[in-house]
Amino acid sequence: MRVFATSDLHTDYKENFLWLSELSDTAYRDDTLIVAGDVSDRLEIIRETLLLLRSKFRHVLFTPGNHELWVRNSEINSIEKFHQVLKLCEAIDVVTTPLRLEDLWIVPLFSWYDGVYDADMKAWVDFHLCKWPEDIQSLPDYFLRLNEPHLKWYDGQVITFSHFIPRAELLPPPQYMRFSWLPNVSICAALDAQIRKLNSTVHVCGHTHTTIDKVIDDVRYIQNAVRYPKERRFNNVPIKKIWETVVIES
């Protein structure tokens, strides 16, 4: 059994959906795929994309990103949209809660970035298309509290995943940042404490549209973003193998 990771699928773009469609229909039947957020803001595209991946993998795990919480011409707010997405996942057998696979646990973690709106950030779409209830004082705290029931000891190796990044060291180098204020809309710093409370050895994240595979203080952090079609200048692949059962022959 193998575990693969991907993020930032953005299948609003037909090129991205077709690229995922080209994944083998048979090679991953016994495998698991982690999708670390940002499929689409449209429920029908989220459903179609996750069903496609569900047809190829034994298990698919998902956590919503910021795009999933955009609301356009709708009476609902972004928290209600968040729960709609979770309900959709449950209906199509896509996992959004801890999953045990033999001696491995995969634990999804919800999050939101720590930054607040600044005039220089007016181009950031979240500030226009996300709509929050007035009684939420801190978005990072709200989402991190949802993880608390799952912050416990697990009898096996733990892999965690989130959409947003937990540490500044995971940002692209400054010369490769799409905009100077990317850190303000990418980092959920308190998330790293939850990762370490779970004794996670691997953490998968997304959001910054980069490729990451580095060990920091004994945790391996991975990002394998599909990205927008125009951003794929390199020969990256949509899924990355991050774990595999070692079979010992007797």
- Is 217 part of any domain? yes
**Amino acid sitting at position 34:** I
Q: With a cut of 70, say whether residue 248 has pLDDT above it.
A: no
Segments forming the whole domain that contains residue 194: 2-244
Over residues 23-50, the pLDDT tens digits come to 999 999 999 999 999 999 999 999 999 9
- Is 15 part of any domain? yes
166's tokens: 């937990």
CATH of the domain at 134: 3.60.21.10
Whole-prediction pTM: 0.95
Strands 99-101 and 157-161: unpaired
- Is 150 part of any domain? yes
Query: How many domains, the chain?
Result: 1
- Is 249 part of any domain? no
- Is 250 part of any domain? no
Residues with Cβ within 8 Å of 96's Cβ and at least 6 positions away in sequence, in order, are 61, 62, 63, 86, 89, 90, 108
Q: At what angle do helices 43-54 and 78-91 cross, to 10 degrees?
A: 30
Q: With a cut of 80, say whether residue 236 has pLDDT above it.
A: no
Residue 182 to residue 115: CA distance in whole angstroms: 9
Over residues 61-110, the pLDDT tens digits come to 999 999 999 999 888 999 999 999 999 999 999 999 999 999 999 999 99
